[in-house]
């Protein structure tokens, strides 16, 4: 990696009495009534916020929520997040209805040491996603120190993730530090054997991950819709399953390079349609009926994967292993999650879909580390430089 992931943190710089602008990732799911349905991303930033409070900083939080398209939209207001954060912290959180300008500046000036304010959604401004210098400067004007604790947004070169760091000393928060350490060590200095489990629908979205991981891992276990493309490349009949015919050559190349490292499903769960009332049937991979779809890995595959996991030192898992959002096709993902929970390996799980499924199944807290970054953790595993990380000062 050409960019160090060993970054200065808030523990390396004086924060007492200073106005500290903290980029957090409060992009949390909400129901139509505006109630937060999963507050993990808020909870994960609490160590950073509490440290700053305890050390007398004046804490100014900035985040995005959803995709409002560069203009105010009440549906994407961070006000409900301020209320939830207030409950979690057990102290008042001032909600500021602007992110920059006189209203924001006045609110920040009123902050006393140990007090917290949350600015309105930074994506209400077109300058955010354009990484506009003027907008970044307006944000920077609010503070004396910039802290990035938003690993989930670190792959975006936006004003609040990269631009501000040009105007203020920039260090990482504790969540960012933990994400970089867990993922960085897994890639650069893992406890071996290193096992990667890659799922999800499409090989096209994971091809760079596979290529970056292949020389590093001791075993590569593939499931989910993307496994179908590999199975077809090996000459198996896959019926009406999702497949990327334009990626068969790449799948072929990976099979050849990987040799015995690569494990594909040996049995699969099929059905006529991906529906929650479908009747799933388990078949060996060589016997997929022509009018059925592969929608999960089968029990023999789960056992084979579990066997590999049981001897692992480190496991990186990205993407579900079937259509796990539908109960009949969640068994493969659940079975592998149980194997990870039982194992003594360092287990690192990422990818929004997978994390959501594990939360639903009640398994997320049994992993060593659940990454808060969907796209960011994927790009990190691809070996890409994350702009939000590159912008921070090295240790």
Phi/psi of residue 21, each to 5°?
-90, 115
- In the residue annotation, 232 being an active-site residue is answered as no
- In the residue annotation, 225 being an active-site residue is answered as no
Alpha-carbon torsion angle 24, 29, 35, 37, nearest 10: -110
Q: Which one from 166, 352, 383, 384 is the annotated catalytic residue? A: 352
81 prior amide bond cis, ω within 30: no
Question: What is the secondary structure of 163-179 as a DSSP string?
Answer: GGGGTS-EEE-HHHHHH
- Quote the Cα angle for 34-97-46, to 5°: 65
Q: Which one from 23, 41, 84, 178 is the annotated catalytic residue? A: 41
Place of tokens 């301020």: 82
Q: Which one from 56, 184, 375, 383 is the annotated catalytic residue? A: 375
- In the residue annotation, 173 being an active-site residue is answered as no
* Rg of the chain in Å (alpha carbons): 22
Q: Which one from 202, 216, 240, 384 is the annotated catalytic residue? A: 202
State how far the Cα of 149 lies from the Cα of 50, in Å rounded to an integer. 13
State how far the Cα of 163 lies from the Cα of 145, in Å rounded to an integer. 13
- In the residue annotation, 319 being an active-site residue is answered as no
Sheet containing strand 293-297, edge to edge, reads 281-284, 267-271, 293-297
What count of other Cβ atoms lies within 10 Å of the Cβ of residue 211?
Answer: 15
Alpha-carbon torsion angle 361, 365, 370, 374, nearest 10: 30
Grouping H, G, I as helix, E, B as strand and the rest as coil, residue 394 is: strand
Report whether 199 contacts 222 (CB < 8 A): yes
- 315-342 burial, b if ≥16 CB within 10 A, otherwise e? bbbbbbbbbbebebbbbbbbbbbbbbee
Look at residues 27, 90, 32, 12 and name the one whose alpha carbon lies nearest to residue 61: 27
Residues known to be catalytic: 41, 202, 352, 375
């Amino acid at each position: 990696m050409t960019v160090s992931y060993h970054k200065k943190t808030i523990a390396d710089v004086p924060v007492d009495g200073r106005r500290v602008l903290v980029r957090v990732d409060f992009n949390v799911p909400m129901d139509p009534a505006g109630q937060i349905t999963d507050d993990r991303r808020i909870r994960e930033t609490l160590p950073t916020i509490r440290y700053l409070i305890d050390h007398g900083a004046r804490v100014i939080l900035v985040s995005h929520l959803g995709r409002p398209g560069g203009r105010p939209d009440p549906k994407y207001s961070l006000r409900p997040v301020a209320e939830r954060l207030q409950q979690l912290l057990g102290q008042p959180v001032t909600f500021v209805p602007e992110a920059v300008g006189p209203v924001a500046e006045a609110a920040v000036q009123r902050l006393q040491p140990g007090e917290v304010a949350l600015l309105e959604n930074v994506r209400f401004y077109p300058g955010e996603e354009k990484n506009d210098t003027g907008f970044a400067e307006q944000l920077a004007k609010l503070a004396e120190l910039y802290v990035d604790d938003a690993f989930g947004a670190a792959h975006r070169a936006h004003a609040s993730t990269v631009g501000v760091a040009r105007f203020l000393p920039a260090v990482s928060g504790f969540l960012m530090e933990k994400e970089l350490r867990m993922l960085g060590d897994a890639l650069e200095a893992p406890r071996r054997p290193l096992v990667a489990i890659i799922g999800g629908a499409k090989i096209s979205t994971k091809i760079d991950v596979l290529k970056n991981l292949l020389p590093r891992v001791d075993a590569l276990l593939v499931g989910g819709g993307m496994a179908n493309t590999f199975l077809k490349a090996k000459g198996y009949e896959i019926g009406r399953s999702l497949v990327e015919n334009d990626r068969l050559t790449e799948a072929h190349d990976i099979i050849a390079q990987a040799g015995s490292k690569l494990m594909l499903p040996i049995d699969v769960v099929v059905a006529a349609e991906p529906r929650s009332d479908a009747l799933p049937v388990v078949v060996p991979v060589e016997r997929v009926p022509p009018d059925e779809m592969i929608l999960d890995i089968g029990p023999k595959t789960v056992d084979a994967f579990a066997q590999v996991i049981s001897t692992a030192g480190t496991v990186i898992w990205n993407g579900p292993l079937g259509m796990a959002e539908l109960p009949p096709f969640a068994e493969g993902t659940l079975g592998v999650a149980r194997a990870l929970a039982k194992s003594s390996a360092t287990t690192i799980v990422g990818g929004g879909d997978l994390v959501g499924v594990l939360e639903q199944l009640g398994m997320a807290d049994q992993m060593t580390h659940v990454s808060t970054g969907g796209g960011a953790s994927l790009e990190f595993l691809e070996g890409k430089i994350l702009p939000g990380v590159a912008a921070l000062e090295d240790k």
